[in-house]
Each structure stands twice: as C-alpha cells, then as structure tokens.
Amino acid sequence: MNRIIILLMLAFAMASTVNAQTRKQMVAVLPTLGDMDEDTNGAVQDALEQGVLKSMQYGLVARGSAFDQALSEITFQASGAVEDNQLKEFGRAVSADFVCYANIRIIVNTLRITYRLINVSTSEIVKVNTKNSSNRVDEFLEVLDEIAEDLFGNVADRRVEEQRRVEEQRKAEEEKIKTARTRWEVLKNSSNIDELEDFVKQFSGTPPIKDATEKLNEEKAWKTARETNTINAYERYYAIGKSASYREWAKDWLEEAYYRTAVDAAKVNNLNKLDEMYDNALLLAPNGKLTDEIKKLRCDAYYKRAIELSNNKKMINDIRQSNEYFYIVKRSCPAKKDVDKFIDKNNKIIRKAK
C-alpha cells in the first residue's frame, strides 16, 4: 500500500513538473487607444486577442471583473505609453506574462497603428512596430491580420531563429577563443607592438587578453625608454617594468649612465651631481663595480676640494667647509690615510681664529 502511495506521489510530482514546463505564457490585450470610435478600437483589440489564440504559443488572459478592475488603475499617457510600474501591477493582478496594446492616430486620410508587446516582469518591449492603413474597411481588416501575424503568428519561427543565433554566437565565441590561444602561443614572445595591438583589438574578451595587454604595455614602456634614452626614462621603466631581461638591460644602461655622468661631474668638481649619481648607483647596484668607481671619483673630488679650501687660511669659513669635506672623505674613503692630519691642522686654525 505504501509503495502505491509513493508511486502515485512521484507520478503527481512528475505531472506537475511537466505542466509547469509546458505552461503557456499569458498575454493580456489592453483596449485600443486612439482617435477612432469605440467600435473600431474594439475591433483592433479583438483582432489582437484572436492573434493570441491562433498562435498556439501564448494563452489569452480573459476579460472580466478582475481584468476591468486592474485596467482602471492604469493611466495612459497622451502618446499611448504606460508607465512600467503600472504594467507590472496590472500583469500581476491578471496573472499576465505579457501585455499587448495598440494606438491609432489619424494623419490626413491615413490610419497609423502603433502596437507593442511588453514583457511584464522585465518591462522589455519584445515587439514594437507601426503599420498604416486607409480608412477602407477591407484594407483596415487586412492590416489588422498583418499586425496579429507580426505579433503572434511567427512565435515558433522566432524561437527557432533565436536558438540558431545563440548557437552560432556560441560557436563563433569558441572559435575565437581557440584562435586567440593558438595565436597567443606564437605571439607571447614577440616584441612587435603593432602585432600585439592588433591581437588585443581583435581578441578582446578572450582568456589570453590579460597577458597580451600586459605584454603590450611592457613593450610600449620599454620602447619609450629606449627612444627617450635618458636616465629618467630608464629609471621609470626600471621602477615599473616586469620583464626580467629588459630590467637587466635597463640596469646595465643606468650603471653606465651614472658612471659617465659622475666622470663629467668630477671634471668640473660638481659635488652635488657626484652625490646624486653615487646615491642612484647605491640604490641600483650597491655592490656593483661601477658603483665602486663612482665612489672613488666622489672621494677624490671631495678630497681635492677639501685641500683647495684648506689652503685658504685667511677665510675661516673655507677652513670649516674644508673640514666638513674631510669628514665626508674619512667616513667614505678609508684609503685616504692623511685625512686626520688635515682635520687637526684646520682645527688649530679655527681655534686660533676664535
């Protein structure tokens, strides 16, 4: 007995699922708006309802007290449009998935009929179109048939077309991704900016696009550094660049540039520039050979300048400055053995001056 009950319950559940899956979406046809008399506007509404019934795809929301009550809450604008929130309220009230209505305007001797099919839950206008008719009854009725056919007669065809379009789009996307991955395997080691730019434009949205964009930006930054060919440009690249090989080249270039600049500064005894190049070299390559060379140039320059100032015994400020430079040499250049002797000599002069 229990087994029979369970089987019946399963059958009922399956039937409910099938019914839910095969339930037709319901369409409510609102009264027609416009410049025509009530009978003509009613004929349009009737034609749209017949179109719903003939479609075999939609179900028609029947008119009745609930329909009329919900309809009384709707405010139609002068253009014939209805606010989205009112359509949603109306749809919920009459259990409609879609709302359809038409609007008729008389322009000279032409009837201009604008009709809409609207998804109640999303407020999406599924269909909107306009057809013209003369005031001849036979032509007007023919146009009404065309409108009903346009709205509901090709529902199945539209679904098939949409499925075909979605499938084609899916296949095209898969092919695009496949092609992008294949091309990226060839291109990922390229330094050709034009090719990288073309790839980024052509394969936007594919998995390799992130790596391709980073590679493109890297190549552009490196190209800018090489074309600008200045210390600042290479320092900027070295700070933000990610390519290990490019960073190593930038580092070698900067070491050489710091050294050349230090040599030029030493020739004119430009201590500030020597300090700058030495600080830069320490940050870039603290144990580098060229850093040691710059350090020697700096030591010699400070030592030379300190000696020059110490010889001017009449200018006490020069003597004090000389000692400051000697102290720098003492801290930085242990190879200079006679520094203490000069410092003591200068101190005697300073004490005597006091």
**Are 217 and 225 spatial neighbours (Cβ–Cβ below 8 Å)?**
no
Q: Which long-range contacts (CB under 8 A, 24 or more apart) does 223-232 make?
A: 223/193, 225/250, 231/257, 231/258, 231/261, 231/280
**Facing residues of 25 across strands?**
58
- 52, HSE (Cβ side, Cα atoms, 13 Å): 25
- Measured in whole angstroms, the distance separating CA 235 from the mean position of its chain's CA atoms is 29
Please give the Cα distance from 196 to 180 (Å, whole number).
12
CATH number at residue 287: 1.25.40
Is residue 243 included in any domain, yes or no?
Answer: no
Q: Do 194 and 139 belong to one domain? A: no
- State which residues form the domain around 188: 161-212
Q: Do 146 and 188 belong to one domain? A: no
Q: Write down the residue that tokens 């009264």 correspond to.
A: 31
pLDDT at 158: 59
Q: Do 203 and 262 belong to one domain? A: no
Q: Do 204 and 277 belong to one domain? A: no
Q: Do 18 and 139 belong to one domain? A: yes
Residues near 271 by beta carbon (within 8 Å), at least 6 away in sequence? 265, 298, 301, 302, 305
| Token code pair at residue 137 | 């009854």
pLDDT at 197: 96
| Token code pair at residue 59 | 């179900």
Q: Do 119 and 25 belong to one domain? A: yes
Report in angstroms the alpha-carbon separations of 73 from 33, 86, 90, 123.
16, 8, 8, 18
Q: Do 26 and 133 belong to one domain? A: yes
Q: Which long-range contacts (CB under 8 A, 24 or more apart) does 320-323 make?
A: 320/346, 320/350, 322/346, 323/347, 323/350
pLDDT at 92: 86
pLDDT at 156: 55
Is residue 12 included in any domain, yes or no?
Answer: yes
For 290-325, how does the pLDDT look when each residue is reduced to its tens digit (9 = 90+)? 999 999 999 999 999 999 998 887 788 888 999 999
Is residue 239 included in any domain, yes or no?
Answer: no
Q: Do 40 and 106 belong to one domain? A: yes
CATH number at residue 90: 3.40.50.10070
Is residue 248 included in any domain, yes or no?
Answer: no
Q: Looking at 153, 169, 193, which one is the last position of a domain?
A: 153
Buried b (16+ CB within 10 A) or exposed e, 116-137: bbbebeeeeeeeeeeeebeeee
Is residue 229 included in any domain, yes or no?
Answer: no
Is residue 222 included in any domain, yes or no?
Answer: no
Q: Do 39 and 139 belong to one domain? A: yes
Q: Looking at 132, 153, 174, which one is the last position of a domain?
A: 153
Q: Do 22 and 107 belong to one domain? A: yes
| pLDDT, block means (10 residues), the chain with 354 residues | 49 44 78 80 85 82 86 70 76 88 86 87 84 86 84 66 84 95 94 95 94 95 95 94 94 96 94 95 92 93 91 85 90 82 88 77
pLDDT at 66: 84
Is residue 199 included in any domain, yes or no?
Answer: yes
Q: Do 169 and 98 belong to one domain? A: no
Q: Looking at 128, 153, 178, which one is the last position of a domain?
A: 153
Which residue, among 175, 301, 300, 280, has the nearest Cα to 231 in the 3D structure?
A: 280
Is residue 281 included in any domain, yes or no?
Answer: yes
Q: How many domains does the chain have?
A: 3
User: What pTM did the predictor assign?
Assistant: 0.54
Q: Do 101 and 185 belong to one domain? A: no
